[in-house]
Amino acid sequence: MQTNPPHTLTFTRPDDWHLHLRDGEALAAVVGHTAAVFRRAIVMPNLKPPVRTTDDARAYRQRILAALPAGSDFEPLMTLYLTAAMQPAEIDRAVDSGIVHGVKYYPAGATTNSDAGVRDLADVTAVLERMQERDLVLQVHGEVTDPAVDPFDREAVFIDTVLSPLVRRLPKLRIVFEHATTREAVAFVTDHPHLAATLTPQHLLLSRAAMFEKGIRPHLYCLPILKRESHREKLLEAAVSGSPQFFLGTDSAPHSRITKEAACGCAGVYSAHAALALYAQAFDSVGRLDRLEGFASHFGADYYRLARNQDQVTLTREPWTVPDVYPFGAEALVPFRAGETLPFTVSTSGATLGR
């Protein structure tokens, strides 16, 4: 615990190891927020249609680069969407391309644009074996989809019924447990040193009660859903532990205001506009800002076997107020903490960001 929390903190520029950038107008609306602070991001492939092949990833990467603000050095790290139709040769193409850094496993029906996902991991055994051979990371959305399982239990049941058998069958396959939300996920990852987990700002800052504070809060609905406070405490403990198995992945997931504020609202919290400031607030709440650099800027790069960034970012204990809304093509995007004042401001090489 730090006794004298610093007013400013300068450290290695971070990367976001789990990000949704979408496509078209939505992409153009959001990519600048991430690129202003993060040097790189693992870009999720759940477009419509999904990013299934290395060629798809190459084309999507070009669209992302074209949408960046002038002069940006942001580097998108691409992923492929695992489907039952994928062949092992696609893994070879992906690794050889140098632009694909993982394959994302969505259990079919688990979340936004996951219909093309995998129903049974037995359908993709040869692909997973090739990934293990070629040392390509599998990124998992760790929730079962069985409607009989309570939504708050879907992560823990996934660990017992899907992940644990998978790790036994392919003991060298490197797996990132994306957006971990439970103590069970933290314990499982900790027990398997070749695995890692990303943690989102909303799961570090909020428990499920926040979704019902004075009414229903659709902008706090994401998947996996926020869990009870005792889980949040375990996640934050893991984040600040200094363990290289836990690192930053926002899962920033933009949806237009009308699709969130609806009778059947979409899952996803948009956090790219304030991501690093949000993580800083979480770390500061337990007096561990000194552990932020490893979590935000070192451990993910190390896990993905990429060089750490050379440039720096500065965090200042200076409040800023999040806008109520951002433009989102012809629609509006309501960001996490809309209209609220955050305690930290972020700047890179002289520019103050996030305002």
* Per-position x/- string for 220-239, each x denoting binding to ligand DOR as judged by CB under 6 A, each - no binding: --xx----------------
| Position 19 contacts ligand DOR (CB under 6 A) | no
Chosen from Zn ion, ligand DOR, none, partner binding at 155 (C-beta under 5 to 8 Å by type): none
Tell me which residue has tokens 């909303």: 202
Selected catalytic residue, list 191, 251, 284, 324:
251
Q: Which of 18, 33, 104, 141 binds ligand DOR (CB under 6 A)?
A: 141
What are the C-alpha distances in Å from 27 to residues 24, 127, 224?
A: 5, 30, 23
Locate 77 and state its tokens: 């790290």
CB of 333 to ligand DOR, least distance (A): 12
Q: Which is nearer to ligand DOR, 259 or 285 (CB)?
A: 259
Tell me which residue has tokens 């074209």: 66
For 319, other C-beta atoms within 10 Å of its C-beta total 11
Catalogue the E-assigned strands of the chain: 8-12, 16-19, 40-43, 75-81, 100-105, 138-140, 175-177, 196-199, 246-248, 312-316, 320-321, 326-328, 331-333, 341-342, 345-348, 351-353
Tell me which residue has tokens 């040869």: 126
Q: Which is nearer to ligand DOR, 250 or 281 (CB)?
A: 250
* Per-position x/- string for 232-261, each x denoting binding to Zn ion as judged by CB under 5 A, each - no binding: -------------------x----------
Q: Is 15 a known active-site residue?
A: no
Q: Give the CA-trace dihedral at 233, 236, 238, 243, to 10 degrees.
A: -160
Q: Please give the positions annotated as active site.
A: 251
Which residues sit at the interface with ligand DOR, rule CB under 6 A? 20, 46, 111-112, 141, 222-223, 253, 267-268
Interaction site with Zn ion (CB under 5 A): 251
